[in-house]
Each structure stands twice: as C-alpha cells, then as structure tokens.
Chain A
Amino acid sequence: MAITREEVLHVARLARLALSEEEVDRLRDQIGNILDYIRQLDTLDTREVVPTSHAVEMGTPFRDDSVCPFGDKEAILSNAPDRFEDFFRVPRILED
C-alpha cells in the first residue's frame, strides 16, 4: 500500500477532518490508488527535465498598482457565519 494509516490520520488532522474507522480504511485505499497511479512517473528518466510548476508556457500577467475599492463591505461580511459590528466573529483564539 502506498500510504499508511498513520499518514491518512496525519493528513486528516492537518485538514481538520474527523474520520471514522471505516473512512480511514476507505481513504487509505483510494489515496493509495491515486498515488500508485502517479507513481508510474517514477519509471521515466526525468534527470534532464526542468521541474514544471504549471502546464502553461508563459509568465504571470501583472496589474498596475492602482486602488479600486470593491465597495461592498456588506456583501463580504454577509458571508460571515457570525459577525460583531464590522468584524468577522470567530471562535476565540487563545494566545499565550
């Protein structure tokens, strides 16, 4: 198998997912299959190939440094699960 149970649980924890035992097994199988599929690339000799970060052969476009306010703060804040005045209200974060 390409991925261990512990790795599945580790990734799940990083993604804040609580998985049932049954889900852990199912995901280990599924992710394992995906990794096995990708692993076919290991059979190729890529020593002379420049690593590719993107499939498109061009540089990123730019924008000029000018301000154009979105202008609808309400629309942004309407996505908040909870708000206080003009803040997003989130579960309290404990800082040391």
Chain B
Amino acid sequence: MEFEAVIGLEVHAQLSTQSKIFCACSAAFGAPPNENTCPVCTGMPGVLPVLNRKAVEFTIRTALATSCAVQSKSVFARKNYFYPDLPKAYQISQYELPLALAGHIDIEADGGTKRIGITRIHMEEDAGKLVHEGEFAGAQASLADLNRCSVPLMEIVSEPDMRTPEEGGAYLRRLRDILVYLEVCDGNMEEGSFRCDANVSVRPKGQKEFGTKAELKNMNSFRNVEKALEYEIRRQVEQIEDGGTVAQETRLWDAAANVTIPMRGKEEAHDYRYFPDPDLLPLIVDDAWIDALRKTIPELPAEKVARLASTCGISRYDAELLSSSRALADFFEASVKIYGGNPKVSANECIHWKDAVAAGKISPETIAHAVEDRETGKISATASKTLVELVIRTGKPLRQLREEKGLSQVSDAGALEETVAKVIAANPKEAESYRNGKAGLLSFFVGQVMKETKGKANPKIVQEVLKKKLG
C-alpha cells in the first residue's frame, strides 16, 4: 500500500522589539541571569501588563505579508500551567480570538508553485529558561533565569497542507525569509528566535481522513526539521504495515541519534483552562492602522526573485542567491544602478563578496567600480580581487586604492608600443622564430612585456600590439 504524509507546522517567531511584550524590560538576548526582569514579567501581585504597540504592528505586518485577515478585535487569554520558568503560573496568549486568520504562503514544489494555507497567527509571551542538572555539576536543583519571560512571540500555524519533508522545509524557509524581509524577526533557528513544531500523520494514498498525528518538537535547524519529518513518516508507515497503530503523542527529535522519541507523558498537560485575561482589554485594530501598516510591507522574497530574474538579465538561480538577503539584493540593485554593464558579472561579484556586504565593509560603488574598471580594461581580474580585498581592509574607495597601489593596467596601445618594441629588440632570435611560424612564442613575448610593465599591461592589448609589430 502506498502512503502519503500530512504535515502541519507551528512556528514560534520572536519579534525583534527592543522591549518585552507587556513591560519595559529589555528583550535582548544574552544578558546576565535575571538582569532583564521587573515586577510585571516576574508575576508579582498587583502589577498590570501593558501591550507593546510595536509587537502588535510586527504581527499585523506578518499577517498582511502572508495574506491573512487581520481581526479588528482579538483577545488575550491566560493559559494556565505550573512550571518554574513561568512565574505567573499562566502564559498570556491568544486563544479563541487570535489577531489574524486564514492566510497563505506560496512555495516552490515539484517545479511548480504550491499554496500552503495559514490557519492563524496569534501573539503570546515567551517563558523563562531553566538550567538543569548536568550543566552544573552536582546540582540538586534547577535554576531559573527569567530574562526571556514575556519576550514577544507570534505563533504562526499552518494548515496540514504539506505532503513531504521537502515541502515542510520549503515552507519554513520561505516563512523565515518573509519575516526577515519584514524585519520583524531575526529568523535565527539555532538561537531559538525561530522555532518549529510539526504535526505529522500518514494515511493510505487516496484516503480522505487524516491518520492519527504525532507532534514533533526539539528541532533546531531547517535540516533537522526535514530529517525529523522523514524519520517520523517512515516510523509511522512501518508501524501501520506491521499491523500496529500510531499513538497520538508528543515526540522529541534526538539530533544525535537521528530518531524521534516519545516525550514522557504529562496526561493532564493539555488542560490549560484558558480564559480571557481580565488584566488586558481586547486588542482593537482599525482599518486606518492596517492601511498604514500595509504601506510598510516591502517587496517580498518571491516577488523579488521574479523581478530580478525577469528584468535584470540574471538567472533565476542568481536571483535567488541574491534575494536570500534583502540587504544583498538591495546592494546588487544599487550596484548595477551605478554601473550597468553585464549584470551577470555584478551578480557574481555581489554573491562572492556577500559576507563583506552583510558586514557593511564594501559599498555598491566598490562592486560597480570594480566591474566597470575590469570591463573597460583598466584593471585585471586579479587586480579587481586584490582591490576589493584592500577596500575591505582599509575602508578606502576602490579607485583611490587603484591609483595608490598602481594597480591600473595599461590598455592604451600607443603607450605599450615602446615597451613592445624594446622587448622584440632584446629577443631577436625568438622574434625570428616567431616570424618563421613558431606561433606559440607569442605567449613568451606577452610574458616578457608583462614582466617589463610589472604586470600592469592589459594582456589582450599586449597581444594585439605584439602581433602587429611582429607580423
């Protein structure tokens, strides 16, 4: 029997705000333990949460970029459970009435486009962090750091529309790229600012009903999500083929062993007793606010790839490499605006120097001038590379360095004639042999001229002048 998988993904994305979602503590990563805490985020009695406007705006912008319907009224609820990383004993989240519903993202799949539905996007706060035994030798306790408590998150829940691990990976990457383009999340999976849980089940191909699903957690890279899905799909199919049934359970991905293992059950864990948080009035979003935010949505990755590939004369592959970062794509466009030439060359240069671009070490002018000077024969390919490296090291403009370091090459035939004549006069035997048909000696003469000019001559022009003088 042939099986197919049904995959839905839940992403928790940390919003790139300065402060936390309900208090003015810093939301920055990596502060000393409990440095970023206050009575609000540590759940002291008598405090009131006040909602961060920017966190709302980031979520609305994400909703707009994924074609969701932004709800004019959404409600924060308390999700109740006890855990030492949760000092209030409840997490403020949105439950029955989330901020956004019913959107979608288009992904590339099987050489075409596939639309993956988004069920909902809601806002919530993060929990703290526990350091466990093992990390502290001999610890009989767990240690709680509440810096992360109340850092703003949005949860993006997909429809169960994906059928293969590759589609899951494509959806996640596309979603991450969108969030990074919007500058609402840094998209860093390893640091935990972009986390993914997966719901996966299998069913005989052609069957309409879903099979029993397992929830997968603990995958901290795109590759691990794909590997965990692959493993879990195979496990479920084998289970069924062996006459067994799939249990509805939560499983953890073990990246070292490359398997999913059942999480030890907390049977009552799902009785969260949600109710509207009396401390927070409904979140009201009017059309004017949505319209204003709609204007801030930049060109998104899929649109950018399509536009660069169709209007800039570069391949779709290069367009995708450039669009992997909004800054890199912008850099490329700025660069070809300064010097058009062959955009393919500019694209290659931008991709080659992308780390320097990201670090702000070179400007679009650097690449534009390097490409222009090369195409007009003012510098050699080697000099071009040397010059960009010098720009990175010194911060000086490329053309200034070109002059300072004497890296221009002589492309003026007239200026080279004298040197060529000198070289021919110094090697009469070789000149004679060349004239008698030993054409291979041309490269010898080119080498001599290059040596004479300390590599500054344009080899192409040198050849032309040599041929003329020797011929």
Contact = CB atoms under 8 A, between A and B. Distances in A.
Interface string A17-56: 0000000000000000000000000000000000001101
B283 interface: yes
A18 B322 CA distance: 61
Given A62-B56, A90-B142, A76 B32 contact: no
Q: Which 5 residue pairs are nearest across A and B when measured between Cβ atoms?
A: A59-B284, A70-B38, A87-B143, A65-B54, A53-B276
B55 A65 contact: yes
B453 to A, nearest CB: 60
B26 A60 contact: no
Contacts of B39: 70, 76
28 contacts: A10-B271, A14-B80, A14-B271, A16-B82, A53-B75, A54-B281, A59-B282, A60-B281, A61-B50, A62-B50, A63-B50, A63-B53, A65-B55, A67-B24, A69-B24, A70-B39, A73-B35, A73-B37, A76-B39, A79-B42, A86-B35, A87-B131, A89-B141, A89-B144, A90-B144, A92-B141, A93-B84, A93-B142
A6 interface: no
Nearest to B262: A96
Given A14-B271, A60-B51, A92-B142, A69 B36 contact: yes
Contacts of A54: 276, 278, 281-282
B99 interface: no
Contact of A64 (B36, B37, B53, B280): B53
Interface residues of B, number: 57
B27 to A, nearest CB: 8
B26 A90 contact: no
Given A59-B282, A60-B282, A88-B144, A76 B24 contact: no
Contacts of B82: 16
B261 A96 contact: yes
Given A61-B50, A76-B37, A92 B140 contact: yes
B18 interface: yes
A17 B56 CA distance: 37
A96 B59 CA distance: 33
B26 A67 contact: yes
Given A58-B281, A90-B84, A91-B84, 11 more contacts: A60-B280, A62-B50, A62-B51, A66-B24, A69-B36, A76-B34, A79-B44, A85-B33, A91-B141, A93-B83, A93-B132
Nearest to A84: B143
A13 B271 CA distance: 11
Contacts of B130: 90, 93
Interface of A: 10, 13-14, 16, 53-54, 56, 58-70, 73, 76-77, 79, 82, 84-93, 95-96
Given A60-B51, A60-B280, A88 B268 contact: no
A79 B52 CA distance: 26
B25 A96 contact: no
Nearest to B263: A96
B407 interface: no
Question: Which DSSP category, helix, strand, loop or mixed, fits chain A's interface?
Answer: loop
Contacts of A89: 141-144
A82 to B, nearest CB: 7
Contacts of A14: 80, 268, 271, 273
A87 B37 contact: no
Nearest to B32: A86
Contacts of B50: 61-63
B306 to A, nearest CB: 33
Contacts of A88: 34, 84, 143-146
B56 to A, nearest CB: 7
A90 B141 contact: yes
Nearest to B254: A96
B252 interface: yes
Nearest to A90: B84
A61 B51 contact: yes
Given A14-B273, A63-B52, A87 B284 contact: no
Contacts of B139: 92
Contacts of B283: 59-60
B17 interface: yes
A73 B42 CA distance: 11
Contacts of A13: 268
Contacts of A60: 51, 76, 280-284
B303 interface: no
Contact of B53 (A56, A58, A62, A87): A62
Nearest to A71: B38
A11 to B, nearest CB: 8
Nearest to B140: A92
Contact of A65 (B17, B84, B97): B17
Contacts of B278: 54
B89 to A, nearest CB: 9
Contacts of A67: 18-19, 24-26
Nearest to A61: B50
Contacts of B280: 60
B352 interface: no
